[in-house]
Chain A
Amino acid sequence: EPEVTQTPSHQVTQMGQEVILRCVPISNHLYFYWYRQILGQKVEFLVSFYNNEISEKSEIFDDQFSVERPDGSNFTLKIRSTKLEDSAMYFCASSQQGGNTEAFFGQGTRLTVV
């Protein structure tokens, strides 16, 4: 069964360092999403991406964040200068269409900023 894969599963980084979280969405999917879940809190929307551009972004997704689809298969989330409060589980998701179609989630990357 096709699945969304994320790497790494766990990343530890020093405050102020740049991190890139990687995702490989399901191959025929067109819409891509990043969500995050701070420990003990709700999952929150960060950004959606379609046709090589950002479709929507939340207020969390500030200038420190960027997304890219560099090669037609990977979908990356970059945090330029990590802060302690960026520590969270980051989930990538993809869907075939943007409307009422099911979103498939990756297993997540646990980011720890120290």
Chain B
Amino acid sequence: KNEVEQSPQNLTAQEGEFITINCSYSVGISALHWLQQHPGGGIVSLFMLSSGKKKHGRLIATINIQEKHSSLHITASHPRDSAVYICAVRPLSSGSARQLTFGSGTQLTVLP
């Protein structure tokens, strides 16, 4: 059974701080997604990774396939970054449509 574990579950930071959210998973995957869920519930895709590192603005995502671990970093955090950040993986064993398995999410609160 594939487990996706995120840490921490909750994170409170001061504006401007560097933030790291971690994700570990237990099976081989073809890709890992980082998603952002705002208080209204909508989900936005931030990154899809299968190796290495991606950067978009103040967000950086890295993945280590051998260690089955990914991190999401936010530089110069801002209150508008407050959201739930979800890690989701696409297991190698799933069918051709390759459905996602989700972590529990990390609730990030950035204080002004």
Contact = CB atoms under 8 A, between A and B. Distances in A.
Interface residues of B, number: 27
Interface size class of A (residues with CB under 8 A): 20 to 34
Interface string B56-98: 0000000000000000000000000000001010100011111
A103 B101 contact: no
Contacts of B31: 100
Chain A interface SS verdict (over half): strand
A55 B40 contact: no
A36 B13 CA distance: 29
Contacts of B48: 100-102
Contacts of A106: 42
Interface of A: 31, 33, 35, 37, 41-45, 48-50, 55-56, 58, 89, 91, 98-108, 110
Interface of B: 30-31, 33, 35, 40-45, 48, 50, 86, 88, 90, 94-105
